[in-house]
């Protein structure tokens, strides 16, 4: 993540990126660093992978533990984010890009791993009204750990967990 921020700064200094591009990259870095810190306190049995290469794109965070595999997309906003059956709204405008991205990355990872992958959208820096869009859970950063640890009866078998960890480790190299 630090590499990404440094790349954004270097790009701006060399004139390849506009100020808006730089602000967007730094905002993304801020959200990712907050999510990384929130995921550090997961209990034994949980593993967090960062910058997972999926070929055409990457996933910033993947958490895997007894409950399964989760891709974590981060949205840094201000004001109030609304998540409901009509969609995800920031500043009153519908945001389909973030929903599509979260779902696509989870499906891609699922095809690589051969187990169900649950995408989660984490909101940083804004209030949140609602908690789901089209089956995609939307949670505040401070609720992320509790969401991952809630007992809903889902479990990875020992063989699935071993296979998933081996595959994820190979994808981060």
Residue 20 confidence (pLDDT) = 55
Using one digit for the tens of pLDDT, what is the confidence trace for 26-69?
445 555 665 667 788 899 989 999 888 888 888 889 999 999 99
Regarding predicted confidence, which is higher, 77 or 2?
A: 77
Q: What φ, ψ does residue 153 adopt, rounded to 5°?
A: 90, -10
Q: Which CATH number fits domain 44-171: 1.10.3470, 1.10.8, 3.40.1350, 3.30.70?
A: 3.40.1350
**Domain regions of the chain by residue span:** 44-171
Regarding predicted confidence, which is higher, 54 or 148?
A: 148
Place 16 in a pLDDT band, splitting at 50, 70 and 90: low
CA distance 74 to 61: 9
Chain-centroid distance, C-alpha 131: 15
Using one digit for the tens of pLDDT, what is the confidence trace for 89-116?
988 899 899 899 999 999 999 999 999 9
């Amino acid at each position: 993540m630090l590499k990404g921020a440094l790349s954004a700064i270097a790009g701006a200094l060399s004139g390849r990126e506009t100020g808006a591009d730089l602000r967007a990259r730094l905002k993304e870095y801020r959200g990712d660093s907050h999510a990384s810190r929130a995921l550090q306190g997961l209990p034994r049995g949980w593993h967090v992978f960062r910058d997972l290469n999926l070929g055409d794109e990457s996933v910033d965070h993947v958490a895997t533990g007894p409950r399964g595999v989760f891709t974590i997309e981060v949205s840094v906003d201000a004001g109030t984010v609304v998540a409901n059956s009509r969609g995800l709204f920031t500043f009153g405008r519908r945001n389909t890009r973030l929903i599509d991205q979260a779902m696509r990355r989870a499906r891609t990872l699922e095809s690589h791993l051969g187990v169900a992958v649950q995408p989660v959208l984490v909101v940083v820096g804004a209030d949140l009204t609602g908690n789901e869009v089209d089956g995609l859970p939307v949670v505040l950063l401070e609720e992320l750990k509790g969401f991952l640890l809630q007992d809903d009866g889902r479990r990875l078998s020992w063989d699935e967990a071993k296979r998933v960890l081996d595959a994820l480790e190979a994808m981060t190299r």
